[in-house]
C-alpha cells in the first residue's frame, strides 16, 4: 500500500437484515485491523455489538421510517468532506441523501449487494442508474453482475467478493432444542434463509420423495415470504419457521450434509460463504454468480435445471462423494479472508485516487 495518512472512512448500514449487518461488521473489523483507516460505523445496535474496539460507532435508531432515524442518517452522511462514505444497502431515502452528497463533493462508495433487487421495488429499479452515477465507486461481488450494469457505469465498478463467514472463537453454543433436533435428524439437506418464490422451495417440496430415496431429510429454516403455504412446507420437511438465532443457524449449517440453493438469480450468497466456511458443501442452481464460487465435486454440485432428474443426480453425487470438509473450510477461509477483502477495497480506493483527495 502507498504510504498515506490514515483515511477517515465511515461505513453506513441502515438495514435490519442480520446477514447485511454481519457482512458490514466483518468488513469493518477487517478495515480497522489494517491500521490504514480511522473507521466509524453507523448502524443499529445489533450491528454495533459485533464491532471490535478499534472501530468507532454511531448508533442509528431502529425503525427506518421514523424522523429520528432520518435525522441520524443525515448526521452520519454529512460529516467532514474528508471522510469517505461507504453505504451498504438500497434504502431509497439514504440513497437520495448520498446522491446529494456525491454531487456536492463528498466521496461515496456504494455496495448494493444485488444489481437486481430481490423484491418488487419498481421505484428503485426505475431510478437506480441516475442515483448510481452520483457515486465514485460501486462495489459488486461477482463478474456476472457487471453485465447488468450500463456500459458508462462499468468503469466505476469494483468486483470485490463477500468474505468467509466462519464462526468466531467466542461464538455461543446453539440452543438445546436445535442441538436435540439435529441429533435426531440423521443426514439432512438444509434450505436456509428467507423463503421467497425466486428461491424455488416449492421445487424441493414437490420432490421431497427424492431426499427420502437417498436417506436424507429435508430441513427448511427461515421466515416464509413466498406463496407456498407453511403447512405444505411442514408436510414435506422439518421446518424451523421464522428467525433463528445466529448460533442456531450456524449449527444447522455446520451439521448438514449439504446446503441447497435452487435460486432463479443470485448476486452474492452469504449463506453459500457461511456453508463453505465450515466445510458444508453446496448444491446450487447452475447460474451466473454461483458459477464463480462453486467447483463441481470439490465444494459442491450444480442443479442442471430445476427438474426431478437434476435433483436426483445431485443427491446421488452427495451420497457417493468423498469431500474432506476440514480442507474445504480451510481453503474457503483462506481464499475469502476478510483481511484480504479489506486490502482489496483499499487498493481499489487507491486505484481511483479516492484516498488522495
Question: Which tens digits make up the pLDDT trace of 113-122?
Answer: 877 665 566 7
**Pairing mode, strands 217-222 and 188-192:** parallel
Residue 135 has pLDDT above 50, yes or no: yes
3-state SS of 279-346 is CCCEEEECCCCHHHCCCECCCEEEECCCCHHHHHHHHHHHHHCCCCHHHHHHHHHHHCCHHHHHHHHH
Tell me which H or E stretch contains 142.
none
How many Å apart are CA 291 and CA 181, to the nearest integer? 33
Per-residue pLDDT tens over the stretch 250-307: 999 999 999 999 999 888 898 999 999 999 999 999 999 899 999 999 999 999 999 9
Grid coordinates of 210: 427424492
Burial of 178 (0-12, 13-18, 19+ CB in 10 A): buried
Grid coordinates of 20: 447485511
Q: What is the pTM of this model?
A: 0.89
Residue 342 CB contacts under 8 Å (≥ 6 apart), including other chains: 27, 30, 31, 33, 34
The answer to whether 108 and 128 are in contact (CB under 8 A) is no
Ordered by where they begin, the domains of the chain are 7-163+336-351 (3.40.50.2000), 176-334 (3.40.50.2000)
Residue 303 CB contacts under 8 Å (≥ 6 apart), including other chains: 262, 283, 284, 285, 286, 310, 311, 314
pLDDT band, very low/low/confident/very high, at 66 (cuts 50, 70, 90): confident
Residue 244 has pLDDT above 90, yes or no: no
Amino acid at each position: 500500500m502507498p504510504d498515506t495518512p490514515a483515511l477517515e472512512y465511515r461505513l453506513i448500514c441502515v438495514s435490519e437484515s442480520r446477514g447485511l449487518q454481519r457482512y458490514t461488521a466483518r468488513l469493518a473489523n477487517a478495515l480497522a485491523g489494517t491500521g490504514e483507516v480511522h473507521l466509524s460505523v453507523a448502524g443499529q445496535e445489533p450491528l454495533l455489538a459485533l464491532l471490535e474496539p478499534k472501530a468507532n460507532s454511531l448508533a442509528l435508531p431502529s425503525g427506518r421510517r421514523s424522523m429520528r432515524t432520518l435525522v441520524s442518517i443525515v448526521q452520519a452522511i454529512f460529516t467532514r468532506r474528508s471522510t469517505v462514505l461507504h453505504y451498504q444497502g438500497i434504502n431509497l431515502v439514504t440513497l437520495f441523501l448520498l446522491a446529494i452528497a456525491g454531487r456536492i463533493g463528498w466521496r461515496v462508495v456504494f455496495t448494493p449487494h444485488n444489481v437486481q433487487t430481490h423484491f418488487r421495488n419498481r421505484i428503485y429499479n426505475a431510478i437506480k442508474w441516475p442515483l448510481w452515477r452520483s457515486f465514485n465507486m460501486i462495489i459488486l461481488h461477482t463478474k456476472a453482475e457487471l453485465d447488468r450494469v450500463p456500459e458508462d457505469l462499468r468503469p466505476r465498478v469494483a468486483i470485490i467478493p463477500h468474505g468467509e463467514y466462519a464462526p468466531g472463537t467466542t461464538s455461543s453454543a446453539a440452543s438445546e432444542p436445535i442441538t436435540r433436533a439435529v441429533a435426531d435428524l440423521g443426514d439432512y439437506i438444509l434450505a436456509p434463509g428467507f423463503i421467497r418464490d425466486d428461491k424455488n422451495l416449492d421445487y424441493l417440496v414437490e420432490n421431497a420423495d427424492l431426499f427420502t430415496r437417498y436417506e436424507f431429510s429435508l430441513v427448511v429454516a427461515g421466515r416464509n415470504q413466498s406463496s407456498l403455504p407453511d403447512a405444505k412446507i411442514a408436510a414435506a420437511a422439518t421446518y424451523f419457521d421464522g428467525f433463528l438465532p445466529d448460533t442456531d443457524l450456524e449449527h444447522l449449517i455446520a451439521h448438514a450434509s449439504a446446503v441447497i440453493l435452487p435460486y432463479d438469480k443470485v448476486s452474492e450468497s452469504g449463506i453459500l460463504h457461511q456453508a463453505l466456511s465450515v466445510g458444508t458443501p453446496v448444491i446450487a442452481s447452475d447460474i451466473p454468480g454461483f458459477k464463480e464460487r462453486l467447483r463441481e465435486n470439490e465444494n459442491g454440485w450444480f442443479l442442471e435445471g430445476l427438474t426431478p432428474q437434476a435433483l436426483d443426480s445431485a443427491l446421488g453425487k452427495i451420497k457417493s462423494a468423498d469431500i474432506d470438509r476440514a480442507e474445504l473450510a480451510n481453503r474457503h477461509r483462506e481464499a475469502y479472508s476478510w483481511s484480504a477483502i479489506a486490502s482489496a477495497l483499499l487498493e481499489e480506493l487507491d486505484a481511483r485516487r479516492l484516498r488522495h483527495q
